[in-house]
């Protein structure tokens, strides 16, 4: 195999199976690019950066919600599932964006939020206006309060973001919300709710979207008895048998079987990926069957340290699970809900509690003396390169290709994340997600580092300019150049979905081969690892000299041409 520094044009997969081994780039629309200078990223901003996405070499973009929303939860409180938030653009802008992406062979996945709507959604407004026991109220989860006049909540449950999970509506009834109080949960026993989402899936599919990312896919179906269990009882209940009252119930797969029929009405069939935080990889696999959503996020690497044993275990486990259902695995190191992986890996190892640890660091005000910025980025680059060689899809989060760190020092007055405010008692994890949602730096100066003509909606620290696209663009050692090279090579090298581990004689060095001889090796330790003679390094996350892979470095190898 002869691969030179000259990169072939990226080849994107144009088969119905494109999703199986795609590199999907997550755009958080409000923070990507702002075309009209109001400080909020928008769809025309995305259109203006399509060349950037093309050159980056990704296969698909996934857009976090861009629907009309009061922004109680960064857009995951949807007021209308079939429109664009006027602050972000119009349906015509959406169509232009789809056309611009498709013209470059880039697929588009949109976010669907079926567990809850916004409290501004017309169905919830109708439920509030209608009396107790009405068909309108039945579309959400209402219960009578306890106490003489219903003045006490039906149960002592806490929401995922902290604070109570039941909210009174003033007539003795209360509604249930897993997340913020502005996000009432739908009642999926009601056929109207099914119809609402089938209509929505067709609406976007008809507009040309290629697939859907399904928010809180494990939460939709509930089974609440007349006498509700206490929070402590709920917590103690098994989450692995499909019978927990709130999470990961087996019946949820009936919803996805219904959706599969809609996906299959299209040619090629629309694809879906489940966000399902479930108890075991076996439970996750149920979301990824061909009769269901087809693919499910594997978040295990978010929790893992930069540690060979943890990586090996997670990789082997997930490849086995996805093979068992006929799906392909997914790999995620960063997204809009967690502390960026360059930062997580810059904190001292903590035995597989990375997400929580990053959160604790944010809550402590992001002490600079606890963060090894350079080491964190070095490990992040190595982890990404290693993961990009794995069979399956990789989901990348905007800004990681610039090697961005988390922004820790956002003043409380400028924070937007409801988890920050609701969890003010600090008894929950997942707090303070604004630091990974700070608008991207495109240039090294300007009012918002080229994000737009105005000041960005979240404060951008000074150091962001040094990691801007303009600075990294022409620098062969930059993280952007590393991602571009790796993604272009990935198109050339992509092959069958098998992986064979190669023993390295070292506990801290992992190495595997793909069927065509493409190999990836990662040194998770500090001592150099000698590569074999005749092994050609085609890309590495840090310089490799004299055939020795330094610590905290990954490389891709191909058999030498001669």
In terms of CB distance, is 87 or 340 closer to Ca ion? 87
> Do the beta carbons of residue 294 and residue 284 sit within 8 Å?
no
Q: Which residues in the 56-85 window bind ligand NOJ by CB under 6 A?
A: 73, 76
Considering the candidates 192, 265, 282, 374, report the single residue annotated as catalytic.
Answer: 265
In terms of CB distance, is 297 or 449 closer to ligand NOJ? 297
Does 275 participate in catalysis according to the annotation?
no
Is 337 one of the binding residues for ligand NOJ (CB under 6 A)?
Answer: yes
Is 93 one of the binding residues for Ca ion (CB under 5 A)?
Answer: no
Exposure letters 323-344 (e unless 16+ CB within 10 A, then b): eebebbbbbbbbbbbbbbbbbb
**Residues paired with residue 509 on neighbouring β-strands, in sequence order:** 523
3-state secondary structure of 258: helix
Residue 326 region by backbone torsions, left for phi larger than 0, else alpha for psi between -120 and 50, else beta: left
In terms of CB distance, is 36 or 55 closer to Ca ion? 36
Is 182 one of the binding residues for ligand NOJ (CB under 6 A)?
Answer: no
Is 42 one of the binding residues for Ca ion (CB under 5 A)?
Answer: yes
CA atoms of 392 and 60, how far apart (whole Å): 14
Does 265 participate in catalysis according to the annotation?
yes
Q: Please write down the HEC assignment for all residues of 443-492.
A: CCCCCCCCCCCCCCCCCCCHHHHHHCHHHHHCCCCCHHHHHHHHHHHHHH
> Do the beta carbons of residue 89 and residue 68 sit within 8 Å?
no
* Smallest distance, Ca ion to C-beta of residue 89, A: 8
Is 38 one of the binding residues for Ca ion (CB under 5 A)?
Answer: yes
Range in contact with Ca ion (rule: CB under 5 A) among 27-35, 72-80, 146-154, 459-467 = 27-35
CA atoms of 293 and 257, how far apart (whole Å): 8
42 binds, among Ca ion, ligand NOJ, none (CB under 5 to 8 A by kind): Ca ion
* Smallest distance, ligand NOJ to C-beta of residue 239, A: 17
Query: Which of 33, 110, 216, 542 touches ligand NOJ by CB under 6 A?
Result: 216
Is 36 one of the binding residues for Ca ion (CB under 5 A)?
Answer: yes
For the beta carbon of residue 129, count every other beta carbon within 10 angstroms. Answer: 10
Q: Which residues in the 159-198 window bind Ca ion by CB under 5 A?
A: none
* Smallest distance, Ca ion to C-beta of residue 36, A: 4
> Do the beta carbons of residue 470 and residue 442 sit within 8 Å?
yes
CA atoms of 186 and 178, how far apart (whole Å): 10
In terms of CB distance, is 77 or 472 closer to ligand NOJ? 77
73 binds, among ligand NOJ, Ca ion, none (CB under 5 to 8 A by kind): ligand NOJ
* Smallest distance, ligand NOJ to C-beta of residue 68, A: 15
Q: Which residues would be at the binding site for ligand NOJ (CB under 6 A)? A: 73, 76, 113, 179, 215-216, 275, 336-337
């Amino acid at each position: 195999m002869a691969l030179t520094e000259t990169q072939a044009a990226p080849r994107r997969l144009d088969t119905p199976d494109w999703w199986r081994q795609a590199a999907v780039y997550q755009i958080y629309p409000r923070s990507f690019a702002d075309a009209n200078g109001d400080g909020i990223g928008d769809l025309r901003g995305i259109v203006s950066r399509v060349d950037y996405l093309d050159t980056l070499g990704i296969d698909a973009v996934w857009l976090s919600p861009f629907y009309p929303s009061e922004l109680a939860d960064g857009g995951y409180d949807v007021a209308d599932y079939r429109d664009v938030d006027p602050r972000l653009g119009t349906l015509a802008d959406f169509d232009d964006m789809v056309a611009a992406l498709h013209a470059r062979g880039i697929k588009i996945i949109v976010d669907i939020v079926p567990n809850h709507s916004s409290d501004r959604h017309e169905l919830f407004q109708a439920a509030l206006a209608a009396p107790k026991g009405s068909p309108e109220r039945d579309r959400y989860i209402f219960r009578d309060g306890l106490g003489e006049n219903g003045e006490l909540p039906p149960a002592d449950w806490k929401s995922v973001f902290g604070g109570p999970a039941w909210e009174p509506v003033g007539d003795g009834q209360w509604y249930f919300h897993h997340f913020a109080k502005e996000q009432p949960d739908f009642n999926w026993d009601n056929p109207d709710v099914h119809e609402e989402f089938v209509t929505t899936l067709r609406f976007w599919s008809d507009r040309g979207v290629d697939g859907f990312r399904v928010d809180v896919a494990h939460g939709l179906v509930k089974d609440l008895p007349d006498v509700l269990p206490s929070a402590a009882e709920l917590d103690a209940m098994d989450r692995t048998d499909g019978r927990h009252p709130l999470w990961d119930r087996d019946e949820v797969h009936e919803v996805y079987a219904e959706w599969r029929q809609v996906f299959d009405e299209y040619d090629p069939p629309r694809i879906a990926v489940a966000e399902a935080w479930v108890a075991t990889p076996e439970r996750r696999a149920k979301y990824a069957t061909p009769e269901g959503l087809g693919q499910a996020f594997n978040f295990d690497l978010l929790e893992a340290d930069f540690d060979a044993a943890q990586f090996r275990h997670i990789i082997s486990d997930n490849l086995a699970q996805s093979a068992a259902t006929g799906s392909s695995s997914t790999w995620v190191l960063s997204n809009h809900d967690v502390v960026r992986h360059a930062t997580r890996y810059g904190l001292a190892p903590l035995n597989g509690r990375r997400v929580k640890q990053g959160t604790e660091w944010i809550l402590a005000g992001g002490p600079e003396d606890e963060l090894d910025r350079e080491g964190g980025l070095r490990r992040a680059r190595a982890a990404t390169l290693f993961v990009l060689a794995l069979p399956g899809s990789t989901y990348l989060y905007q800004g990681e290709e610039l090697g961005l760190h988390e922004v820790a020092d956002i003043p409380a007055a400028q924070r937007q994340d409801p988890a920050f405010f609701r969890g003010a008692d600090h008894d929950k994890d997942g707090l303070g997600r604004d630091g990974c949602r700070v608008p991207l730096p495109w240039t090294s100066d300007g009012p918002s580092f080229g994000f737009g003509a105005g000041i960005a909606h979240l404060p951008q620290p000074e150091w962001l300019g040094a990691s801007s696209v303009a600075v990294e663009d022409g620098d062969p050692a930059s993280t952007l150049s590393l991602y571009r090279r790796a993604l272009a090579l990935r198109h050339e090298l992509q092959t069958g979905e098998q992986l064979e581990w190669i023993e390295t004689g070292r506990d801290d060095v992992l190495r595997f081969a793909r069927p065509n001889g493409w190999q990836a090796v990662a040194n998770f330790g500090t001592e150099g690892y000698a590569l074999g003679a005749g092994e050609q390094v085609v890309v590495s996350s840090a310089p490799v000299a004299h055939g020795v892979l330094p610590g905290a470095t990954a490389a891709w190898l191909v058999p030498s041409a001669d």
